[in-house]
């Protein structure tokens, strides 16, 4: 199984929470980090296999648009560098 990292940024915590809820329910992903960046921007990082992360980000982006503003979505398949955050360490 190839690992992948996905990132979703929203304006507002409600939009982020709705996106997270749907991503976890609809795909085999784990929430690695939720961070309030400032100015109402919330960044969410997920991990899982490549296909699950891709599907989760599509679902999460769609859900975030229903209740807030979506800033960005990005995934990194098979990251080659060691990534460290508060909760995520590869």
Question: pLDDT tens, 3-23?
Answer: 899 999 999 999 999 999 999
Range list of β-strands (E), 1-90: 3-11, 29-38, 41-49, 69-77
pLDDT of residue 2: 82
d(CA 88, CA 39): 24
Structure tokens at 27: 């795909």
Distances (CA, A) of 9 to 1, 2, 60, 80: 26, 24, 10, 23
The residue ranges of the chain whose pLDDT is under 50 are 90
pLDDT of residue 68: 87
Are the CB atoms for 20 and 64 separated by under 8 Å? no
């Amino acid at each position: 199984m190839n690992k992948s990292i996905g990132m979703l940024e929203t304006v507002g915590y409600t939009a982020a929470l709705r996106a997270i809820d749907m991503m976890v329910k609809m795909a085999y992903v784990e929430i690695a980090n939720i961070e309030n960046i400032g100015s109402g921007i919330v960044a969410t990082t997920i991990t899982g296999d490549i296909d699950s992360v891709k599907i989760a980000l599509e679902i999460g982006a769609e859900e975030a648009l229903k209740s807030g503003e979506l800033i960005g979505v990005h995934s990194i398949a098979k990251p080659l560098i060691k990534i460290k955050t508060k909760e995520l360490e590869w």
